[in-house]
Structures are given as structure tokens and as C-alpha cells.
Structure 1
Amino acid sequence: MTAPDPTDIEEYLAGVDGRRAEELRLLHSVIRTSAPGFAPVLVESGGAPLLGYGLLPYKSKSMKQPSEWPVVSLAPRKNYVSLYISAVIDGRYVPEIHADRLGKVSCGKSCIRFKRLTDLNLDAIGEILADLEKRWRAGEKLYGEH
């Protein structure tokens, strides 16, 4: 996959409706500031594009061939925003590890869902992403077979 033209990212963000667009722009800025080494990329997931960051080699147990997947990705939904942090540290997904620090959100294994950006602890997200980028630069494997 090649890096998207910056206008593609802008078009993606411009295609989001209302308050969600402003929230995604702010979160995009937090991600880019906290983990500048994770380059933005548009990826398809279930027929809907995601705005991803830090495309890395990935292979799950069910995959026959390795692929690539972003460490972090954003997806606007009808009633909330999903922030995916797909990295695994010590056998646990990062959102699970930090669930108590993330604010008034709903956490899955790799997914953080929130209705309003003010519900998400942006300082914690910034710290978590900066740590992930530091680990990545040090050569730590952020993905593994799950």
C-alpha cells in the first residue's frame, strides 16, 4: 500500500458529517503530534474506509498470508467514533491495558468507542501513542499472532 496523497486524507475528513468531522480532525492532530512516525494511510475495512496510522506487517492465526494493518485507526460511526489501537504488549491489547485511563468510553480488545471527544482522555491517548511509537522505533514487535 502506498501512502495516500494528503488531499485524500483531507477528502476523507471532509466527507464526515457535522460534529464528527471536527472531532476527527482534532483526534487526527493528536495522533500525528503524539506519534509522527506512524504515517497516515487510508485502508478498507468491511467496505468502509478507515483512516489509519502506522501500517505494519500483520498476521493473525486465521490468516494464511501476512498482510499489513495500521497500529491506530479511526472510524466515524453513526452514534459514536471508534478509535482502534491494534497493538499488543505482553499478550494484551493496549486499550485493555489502559481502559481505566481512557475516560468515559467503551473499550473492546482493540477498540475505544466514544460518543463525544470530550469523553476521551486525550492526554492519556497522547501518552499511549507516544509510547507505542517509541517501542516501534526500538524495534519492538507491536503485532503478533493472536
Structure 2
Amino acid sequence: MDVPENVETYLAGQPEPKQSDLRTLHALMLAEFPDCRQWFTDGTNSEGKVVANPSIGYGVYTITYANGSSREFYRIGLSANASGISVYVLGLDDKTYLARTYGDLIGKAHLTGYCIRFKRLSDIHLETLQAAIRHGMTVDHTD
């Protein structure tokens, strides 16, 4: 199965209203960044063990590890979780940036160094979420 098929299967498997919220976010990503690389990760590691929730990814940057190895990964991730939706903004050097910049504006969401988690789209200010995503998709990542 290719990435768009995996994404559609993943979205179709989500219960409502989470499915509609995820579809809205996915459509917004594709509308704003139509040429970005799309990813789908099923949440399993190389041994097939579940280590994370499945995620849809957008964009690309290179992660460089302390041992000098590197790999490509997505910049923005979208994932359902037990209590709602997580939007991952990866590769930010300043782990306080999301909370400091968007925390007072976004509404009912929990922000960490790289994650914006909320129950429903209706709980948050969508334009603020989109600003955080735009930043993550366009900032120069320096690992």
C-alpha cells in the first residue's frame, strides 16, 4: 500500500468526531503544502513492536544524532491518541517555543516542546494551530 492509501485507511478507521477533525487537518495540510512529502508510520519499530501511535507526516528534515548518524523524518506529524489528537512540530531547537508563542492563544490544548495535544478542533483556535504548523514547516532546522 502506498502512503495515500495508508493515510486513507488510517483516517477511515478513526471514530467520529475524531475522524472528521483529522480529515480537516489533513486537508488543510495538503492545501497549504501541496508539494510536501507525505509520510505514514504505523507506530511499530523494526521488530514489529508497537512503540507509538500511527502518524501521518508532512515535509522532511534531517535528524542528526549525537553519534553522527542521520536520517530523514517528517516535520509535522498528525496522530490520533486515546483522548484526542496530537500535532507534532518536530525539529525545533527551542523546546519552549510552542508553549511560549502559542500557549496563551490556542485554546484548550496542552503544549510540550514538540507536541500540541487537544481533544477536538472546536476546542482550539485553528488559525493559531495553523501558525504553529507553518512555523514548523518553514523554520530552518539545525540539529
TM-score over 0.5 for the alignment? yes
Label 1:143 to 1:72 Cα distance change in 2 as closer, same or farther (>3 A).
farther
Give the 5 Å matches for 1:45-124. 45=43, 46-61=51-66, 65-88=69-92, 91-92=94-95, 94-96=97-99, 97-124=101-128
Distance 1:120 1:59 in 2: 33
Aligned residues: CA RMSD: 2.3
Distance 2:61 2:103 in 1: 24
**SS of residue paired to 2:74:** strand
The more displaced of 95-104 and 68-77 is 95-104
- State the identity %: 23
Label 1:86 to 1:133 Cα distance change in 2 as closer, same or farther (>3 A).
closer
**SS of residue paired to 2:11:** helix
Distance 1:56 1:109 in 2: 17
The more displaced of 38-47 and 24-33 is 38-47
**SS of residue paired to 1:42:** strand
Per-residue deviation, 1:82? 0.9
Indicate if the aligned counterparts of 2:75 and 2:137 stay in contact, CA closer than 8 A.
no
TM-score by length of 2: 0.78
Q: Which residue of 2 aligns with 1:20?
A: 18
TM-score by length of 1: 0.76
How many residues get paired? 134
Structure 2 unaligned segments of length 5 or more: list them.
Answer: 44-50
Structure 1 unaligned segments of length 5 or more: list them.
Answer: 136-140
Indicate if the aligned counterparts of 2:98 and 2:132 stay in contact, CA closer than 8 A.
no
Deviation digits for residues 68-117 of structure 1 (CA, Å, limit 9, x no counterpart): 2211111111212111111315x346523322222210111101110111
Distance 1:37 1:87 in 2: 20
Larger proportion of strand = 1
**SS of residue paired to 1:101:** coil
Match of 1:130 among 124, 127, 134: 134
The more displaced of 74-83 and 41-50 is 41-50
Label 1:72 to 1:93 Cα distance change in 2 as closer, same or farther (>3 A).
farther
